[in-house]
Amino acid sequence: MKVGFVNIFGKPNAGKSTLLNALVGEKLAIVSPKVQTTRHRIKGFLNTEEYQIIFSDTPGIIEPKYKLHEKMMQSVKSGLEDADLALLLVDVNDNLEEADAVFSALKLKVPAFVVVNKIDKAPAAKLENISTFFEGRKYCKKLIAVSALKQENIDGLLQNIIDALPEGEPFYDSEDLTDLPTRFFVGEMIREKIFEYFEDEIPYHTAVMVTEFKEKTGLIKITAEIIVHRETQKAIIIGEKGKMIKQIGMTARREIEKFLDNKVFLELFVKVRPKWRDNELHLKEYGY
């Protein structure tokens, strides 16, 4: 059977998480129009009798400004080390020279497909220009255009991936969808709501830690802490008379119930940890 690691790289907001979700057919990675939403390397497995593909969504490639950013770029580095095939994702409206600089700097040692995303937002002439630009690049084995959001040409991309992978023995059980714990995805779903409801720096100054996950008869009790930098941020997240924290809890609970296929009791607390993004101990505690 065909088996391999297929890792997705690109600038922030190219649509890497949406592509991962489209390829595995499940919502594993949280999605937001804001940049730098993905902070971890998230693996999703696609299993059939003919193949096992281990896809990885990696954080958007940036110049690190905090220890948190350094951890994020370490996730990118680990993705480079075990890839059998790289998907270099570029937004159809991106600056091509910048994308080329990012892809060239990866110094790939494995074959790569340049995947042009959001083709539903571009005329044919533009796609032709992009194709001409990348086809001469050393790292580009093949160029494939898709719309991850609209699921356009995802099957075509998948078939090309399968054809490019080596034969081998599966690394994971065929029933597994990911190697990350359920708690991780619960925390990410809560964090997604913070990206959804708040502007400016709040989402980037926030971490979520699940402190309790207890399965009882017919109910899962989850307690999570939302970590912020400052007291003012805590006040904004709680909102007037607790309005915002209730909204986050209610909408996150619905998503978590859908994901776990179970009734959930969700309790949220907000804690202030000044400069947590540059504190090695805090980063470790929050799973980075």
Residues linked to residue 43 through DSSP beta bridges, in sequence order: 56
Alpha helices, H only, the chain = 16-24, 67-82, 96-105, 124-135, 154-164, 182-197, 231-238, 243-260, 280-285
pLDDT at 41: 87
pLDDT at 286: 84
| Same domain flag for 156 and 24 | yes
In the predicted structure, residue 61 carries a pLDDT above the cut 90: no
Cα–Cα nearest to 117, from 238, 11, 217: 11
Global confidence as pTM: 0.88
Residue 235 forms part of a structural domain = yes
- Give the whole-angstrom CA distance, residue 217 versus residue 220: 8
Q: The CATH number of the domain where 240 resides is what? A: 3.30.300.20
Q: The CATH number of the domain where 131 resides is what? A: 3.40.50.300
In the predicted structure, residue 77 carries a pLDDT above the cut 90: no
- pLDDT band, very low/low/confident/very high, at 254 (cuts 50, 70, 90): very high
| Same domain flag for 147 and 215 | no
| Same domain flag for 153 and 195 | no
For residue range 106-130, list pLDDT tens digits in order: 899 999 999 999 998 888 888 999 9
Cα–Cα nearest to 259, from 171, 190, 175, 174: 190
Cα–Cα nearest to 23, from 39, 35, 7: 7
Instruction: Please tell me the number of Cα atoms within 13 Å of 142 on its side-chain side.
Output: 16
In the predicted structure, residue 43 carries a pLDDT above the cut 90: yes
Considering only residues 76 and 212, tell me which one the structure prediction assigns the higher pLDDT: 212
Residue 171 forms part of a structural domain = no
* Of the residues 164, 196, 212, the one at which a domain ends: 164
Residue with tokens 């990696």: 58
| Same domain flag for 45 and 155 | yes
pLDDT at 159: 97
In the predicted structure, residue 200 carries a pLDDT above the cut 80: no
Separation of CA 145 from chain center: 20
* Of the residues 103, 134, 164, the one at which a domain ends: 164
**3-state secondary structure string across 67-79:** HHHHHHHHHHHHH
| Same domain flag for 116 and 54 | yes
Residue 175 forms part of a structural domain = no
Residue 173 forms part of a structural domain = no
Read off the tokens for 119.
Answer: 């083709």
Residue 172 forms part of a structural domain = no
| Same domain flag for 135 and 186 | no
Domain containing 91: what range? 2-164
| Same domain flag for 154 and 272 | no
Backbone angles phi, psi at 8, to 5 degrees: -100, 125
| Same domain flag for 42 and 144 | yes
pLDDT at 260: 92
| Same domain flag for 151 and 216 | no
pLDDT at 34: 80
Mean pLDDT, range 266-280, rounded to an integer: 95
- pLDDT band, very low/low/confident/very high, at 35 (cuts 50, 70, 90): confident
Q: Among 26-30, 31-35, 91-95, name the most confident range.
A: 91-95
Number of domains the chain is built from: 2
pLDDT at 144: 96
Cα dist. 99→24, 85, 118 in Å? 25, 18, 15
- Give the whole-angstrom CA distance, residue 191 versus residue 180: 16
Residues linked to residue 44 through DSSP beta bridges, in sequence order: 55
Mean pLDDT, range 224-240, rounded to an integer: 96
| Same domain flag for 39 and 152 | yes
